[in-house]
C-alpha cells in the first residue's frame, strides 16, 4: 500500500531531492471508497498506513531534517462509516444527529425525486435516498455524505481536528475542496452543465461551490492556525476567476491556494503564458505568493498530458524548468521528478469511484496514482515487499527507477535535483518577474535576482541568448535551444 513508515524511510531521498515540505494525502481510518478522502475518523491513523506513534516518528524525523509536514484536512464530507453518519441514519428525520449532514425530503408527490438537480462530481445525482425516505447530499460518492457547516457543532469539530494535528506538531494543512462546504439557503437547482466537475467555472450558476459563506469558514480555520505561529493552509480551490479566487487569500483566510491553471494549460505559448499571467494576477493584491502545480493525484500526469513518450518527457523537462523558475511556491507530485507517465490499467483493478459512477465510461484517476519505482527492473521495483501493490506497476519501468536515474547526469531526477538546488540561490530572489521580449513561439522572463528563463515552443531551434547557462532541459552545447525545451540563464 505504501505507509507512513515508508515515507519516513525515504526522508533522506526527499532531502537530497531538495524538498523542504511535504503534503501527505489522507492516511486516516477509512473504508477507502475514494482513496482515503472518505474519512471515518479524522483524528487517527488507518492501520494499513501505521499508527499515531508512527506518524509522530515521521514528523520528528522530518523536522530534524528541516522538512515541514502538512496533512490533508477533508472538511466538506465524512465517510458514511463515520460515527456521526451512523448516528444520523439511526436518528431519523429531524434528529440532531441528522442535522450534522444535509438531509432533506425529496420532491414529487411521494418524495421519490431528489431534493434538487445537483450532480455528483463523480457522476450521477448528488443525492441518495435512505430507508425512511429522506435523501442526503453527497457532492462526491454516496460514501462521502456532505456535512452541514451551518451547524456550529460541525465547525467546532473541524477546529478540534486541526488542533489535534497542530498539537502533535504538524506545520499545516492542505484543505480538500476548500471552495465547497457552504451551500446556499434552500439548496436551489443549478443551471445544468455537461461538465459536473470540481471547477466552479459557471460561477454563481453552479451552487455547489464557491458560495460567499465559505469565507466565514476559512476565517475560522485561519484563527485556529494563528494560534500556532509558522503554520499554514493551502486550499484546493477550483475557481478559475482571478478575482473570486483571490478572495480566498485575504489576510484572514488561506495562506496559499493552488493555482490549477498550469495543470490545465495546453502545451502552447498562449496557454502557458496565460496560465502564468492569471496566476500572478490572482495573488497580486493579496499577501499570498503564487502556488504552482503541474500534476497531482486527481489529473493525468503531465508527461502523459503533453503527449507521452519521448515528446511528453521532453516537454515535461521544459515544464519543470518553467514551473521552478516562477516566483512563489512549487508543489511537485511524487513521481514528477522521475518523469512518471500515467499507466493504462486493466478494468479489473480500477478503484476510483468515477469508474463505476460514470457507468464505466470514465476510467478515473488511478492511472496517475501508481506507486513510485525505486530499484530493480521488475514490479514492485522496491516499493513494497509484496508483488501485489495496491495498484499494479507495469513492466518496463526499470529505467524510470530512482536507482537507474540517480547517477545519470541526463535523467529527469538529476534535472529536478539541480533545479531545486539552484532555486535556493540568489538569482531566484524576489517575488516578481518581468516579461522579456522573446522570439515568436517563445516565452522569456527575468527574476529580480538575475535568473532568466527562456522556453521554446516555437517548433524550431533557437539561438540561446547572451548569459551564463545555469541549467537546460535539453543540450544547448551548440548554442541552440531545441524546440520544447527551456534554459535558465543568469544575466
Ligand atoms: C479532492 C481530492 C480528490 C477527492 C475529492 C473528494 O478533489 O483531491 O482526490 O476525490 O476532493 O474528497
pLDDT (tens digit per residue) in 212-234: 999 999 999 999 999 999 999 99
Q: What is the pLDDT of residue 193?
A: 80
List, for residues 265-285, the tens digit of each pLDDT value.
999 999 999 999 999 999 999
Cβ atoms of residues 82 and 89 within 8 Å? no
Give ∠ CA 396-397-400 in degrees, rounded to 5.
140
Q: What is the pLDDT of residue 198?
A: 74
Is any ligand 1 atom within 6 A of the Cβ of residue 72? Answer: no
- Strand-by-strand arrangement of the 468-472 sheet: 434-435, 442-446, 451-456, 485-490, 468-472
Domains of the chain (ranges; CATH) run: 4-76+152-405 (3.20.20.80), 83-137 (3.90.400.10), 433-490 (2.60.40.1180)
Among residues 472, 486, 473, 491, which one has the least CA distance to residue 442? 486
Q: What is the pLDDT of residue 442?
A: 97
Q: What is the pLDDT of residue 119?
A: 94
Residue 21 to residue 19: CA distance in whole angstroms: 6
Alpha carbon of residue 483 to chain centroid:
29
Residue 310 to residue 104: CA distance in whole angstroms: 53
Cβ atoms of residues 174 and 291 within 8 Å? no
| Nearest CA, atom 2, ligand 1 | 176
Cβ atoms of residues 280 and 257 within 8 Å? no
| Nearest CA, atom 4, ligand 1 | 37
Residue 295 to residue 262: CA distance in whole angstroms: 9
pTM of the model: 0.97
- Each residue's pLDDT, cut to its tens digit, for the chain (491 residues) gives 999 999 999 999 999 999 999 999 999 999 999 999 999 999 999 999 999 999 999 999 999 999 999 999 999 999 999 999 999 999 999 999 999 999 999 999 999 999 999 999 998 999 999 999 999 999 999 999 999 999 999 999 999 999 999 999 999 999 999 999 999 999 999 988 877 777 766 555 789 999 999 999 999 999 999 999 999 999 999 999 999 999 999 999 999 999 899 999 999 999 999 999 999 999 999 999 999 999 999 999 999 999 999 999 999 999 999 999 999 999 999 999 999 999 999 999 999 999 999 999 999 999 999 999 999 999 999 999 998 999 999 999 999 999 999 999 999 999 999 999 999 999 999 999 999 999 999 999 999 999 999 999 999 999 999 999 999 999 999 999 999 999 999 98
Rg (CA), the chain: 23
> Ligand 1 centroid vs 200 CA: distance in angstroms?
14
> Ligand 1 centroid vs 176 CA: distance in angstroms?
6
Longest dimension (CA), the chain: 77
Is 236 one of the annotated active-site residues of the chain?
yes
> Ligand 1 centroid vs 432 CA: distance in angstroms?
31
Q: What is the pLDDT of residue 146?
A: 98
Q: What is the pLDDT of residue 203?
A: 55
User: Which entry of 38, 143, 146, 176 is annotated as an active-site residue?
Assistant: 176
Q: What is the pLDDT of residue 161?
A: 99
Is 38 one of the annotated active-site residues of the chain?
no
Residue 257 to residue 27: CA distance in whole angstroms: 22
Among residues 286, 289, 280, 288, which one has the least CA distance to residue 262? 280
Residue 116 to residue 466: CA distance in whole angstroms: 62
Test site for ligand 1: of 176, 362, 366, most ligand atoms within 8 A of the Cβ: 176
Q: What is the pLDDT of residue 322?
A: 98
Tally of residues, the chain:
491
Amino acid at each position: 500500500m505504501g505507509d507512513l513508515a515508508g515515507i519516513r524511510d525515504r526522508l533522506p531521498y526527499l532531502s537530497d531531492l531538495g524538498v523542504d515540505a511535504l503534503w501527505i494525502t489522507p492516511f486516516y481510518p477509512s473504508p477507502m471508497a475514494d482513496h482515503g478522502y472518505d474519512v471515518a475518523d479524522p483524528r487517527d491513523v488507518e492501520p494499513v498506513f501505521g499508527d499515531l506513534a508512527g506518524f509522530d516518528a515521521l514528523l520528528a524525523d522530518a523536522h530534524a531534517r528541516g522538512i515541514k509536514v502538512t496533512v490533508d484536512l477533508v472538511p466538506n464530507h465524512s465517510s458514511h462509516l463515520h460515527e456521526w453518519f451512523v448516528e444520523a441514519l439511526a436518528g431519523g428525520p429531524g434528529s440532531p444527529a441528522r442535522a450534522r449532514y444535509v438531509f432533506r425530503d425529496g420532491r414529487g408527490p411521494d418524495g421519490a425525486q431528489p431534493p434538487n438537480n445537483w450532480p455528483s462530481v463523480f457522476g450521477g445525482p448528488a443525492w441518495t435516498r435512505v430507508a425512511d425516505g429522506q435523501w442526503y447530499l453527497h457532492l462526491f460518492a454516496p460514501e462521502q455524505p456532505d456535512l452541514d457547516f451551518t451547524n456550529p457543532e460541525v465547525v467546532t469539530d473541524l477546529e478540534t481536528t486541526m488542533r489535534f494535528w497542530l498539537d502533535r506538531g504538524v506545520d499545516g494543512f492542505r484543505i480538500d475542496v476548500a471552495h465547497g462546504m457552504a451551500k446556499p439557503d434552500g439548496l436551489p437547482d443549478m443551471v445544468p452543465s455537461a461538465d459536473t466537475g470540481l471547477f466552479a467555472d459557471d460561477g454563481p450558476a453552479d451552487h455547489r461551490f464557491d458560495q460567499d459563506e465559505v469565507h466565514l469558514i476559512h476565517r475560522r480555520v485561519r484563527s485556529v492556525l494563528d494560534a500556532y505561529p509558522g503554520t499554514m493552509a493551502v486550499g484546493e480551490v477550483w475557481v478559475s476567476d482571478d478575482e473570486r479566487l483571490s478572495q480566498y487569500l485575504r489576510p484572514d483566510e488561506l495562506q496559499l491556494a493552488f493555482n490549477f491553471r498550469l495543470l490545465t494549460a495546453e502545451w502552447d505559448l498562449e496557454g502557458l503564458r496565460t496560465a502564468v499571467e492569471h496566476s500572478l494576477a490572482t495573488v497580486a493584491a493579496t499577501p499570498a505568493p503564487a502556488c504552482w502545480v503541474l500534476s497531482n493525484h486527481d489529473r493525468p500526469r503531465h508527461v502523459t498530458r503533453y503527449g507521452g513518450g519521448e515528446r511528453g518527457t521532453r516537454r515535461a523537462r521544459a515544464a519543470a524548468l518553467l514551473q521552478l523558475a516562477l516566483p512563489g511556491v512549487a508543489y511537485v507530485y511524487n513521481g514528477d521528478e522521475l518523469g512518471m507517465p500515467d499507466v493504462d490499467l486493466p478494468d479489473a483493478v480500477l478503484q476510483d469511484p468515477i469508474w463505476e459512477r460514470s457507468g464505466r465510461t470514465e476510467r478515473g484517476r488511478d492511472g496517475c496514482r501508481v506507486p513510485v519505482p525505486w530499484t530493480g527492473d521488475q514490479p514492485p521495483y522496491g516499493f513494497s515487499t509484496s508483488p501485489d501493490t495496491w495498484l499494479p506497476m507495469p513492466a518496463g519501468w526499470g529505467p524510470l527507477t530512482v536507482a537507474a536515474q540517480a547517477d545519470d547526469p541526463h535523467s529527469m531526477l538529476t534535472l529536478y535535483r539541480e533545479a531545486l538546488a539552484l532555486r535556493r540561490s540568489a538569482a531566484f530572489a524576489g517575488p516578481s518577474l518581468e516579461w522579456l521580449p522573446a522570439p515568436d513561439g517563445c516565452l522569456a522572463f527575468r527574476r529580480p535576482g538575475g535568473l532568466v528563463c527562456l522556453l521554446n515552443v516555437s517548433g524550431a531551434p533557437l539561438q540561446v541568448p547572451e548569459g551564463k547557462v545555469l541549467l537546460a532541459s535539453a543540450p544547448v552545447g551548440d548554442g541552440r535551444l531545441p524546440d520544447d525545451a527551456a534554459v535558465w540563464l543568469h544575466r
